[in-house]
């Protein structure tokens, strides 16, 4: 049976938030499956929530919104994996540059130092507390609860600081 295309209005921001909240556990599973980390999945899913108000696509239905969010979760996972792979290369090269027994080519050493400098500059641009939270989380591996307790802030604020730092560093590395 032929059905004419329906022209319905796009979902409102509130409706998108409702869809996101309903399927957040699914989004976290999608991310965790790709990254291997439940904690990271929660962080990336939270980052997605903060970006809902920037969605400019016209999403006409709940089913389309769910597909949109799942695709966004997959993309967030892939972006994180790419950034982490690049970070590992940079760290490996910076360690190699500091070890006289391992001598990279001058070009590789120069590129690694330039990338590391860009990361350091990006982190230096962040407010002190945001930078401290990011280092405690990503470098020292502290849990959000531990960071919150040590700095006297809420876990929600810790999550916001980590997300802010990740977004900022990613934007700086993409320049």
The whole-angstrom distance between residue 75's C-alpha and the CA centroid of its chain comes to 10
Percent above pLDDT 90 for the chain: 31
By the 8 A CB rule, do 23 and 64 touch? no
pTM for this entry:
0.51
Q: What is the C-alpha to C-alpha distance for residues 28 and 42, in angstroms, rounded to an integer?
A: 6
60-119 pLDDT, tens per residue? 999 999 999 999 999 999 988 888 888 888 777 766 656 555 556 777 778 778 877 888
- In this predicted structure, the answer to whether residue 3 has a pLDDT above a threshold of 70 is no
């Amino acid at each position: 049976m032929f059905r004419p295309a329906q022209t319905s209005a796009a979902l409102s921001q509130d409706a998108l938030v409702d869809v996101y909240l309903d399927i957040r556990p699914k989004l976290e599973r999608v991310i965790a499956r790709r990254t291997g980390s439940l904690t990271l999945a929660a962080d990336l899913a939270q980052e997605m929530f903060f970006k809902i108000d920037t969605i400019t696509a016209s999403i006409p239905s709940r089913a389309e919104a769910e597909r949109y969010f799942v695709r966004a979760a997959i993309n967030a996972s892939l972006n994180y994996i790419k950034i982490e792979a690049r970070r590992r290369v940079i760290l490996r090269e910076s360690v190699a540059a500091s070890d006289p027994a391992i001598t990279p080519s001058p070009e590789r050493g120069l590129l690694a130092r330039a990338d590391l400098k860009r990361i350091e500059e990006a982190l230096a641009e962040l407010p002190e507390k945001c930078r401290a939270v990011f280092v405690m989380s990503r470098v020292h591996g502290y849990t959000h609860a531990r960071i919150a307790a040590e700095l006297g802030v809420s876990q929600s604020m810790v999550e916001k600081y980590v997300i802010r730092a990740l977004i900022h560093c990613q934007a700086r590395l993409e320049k």
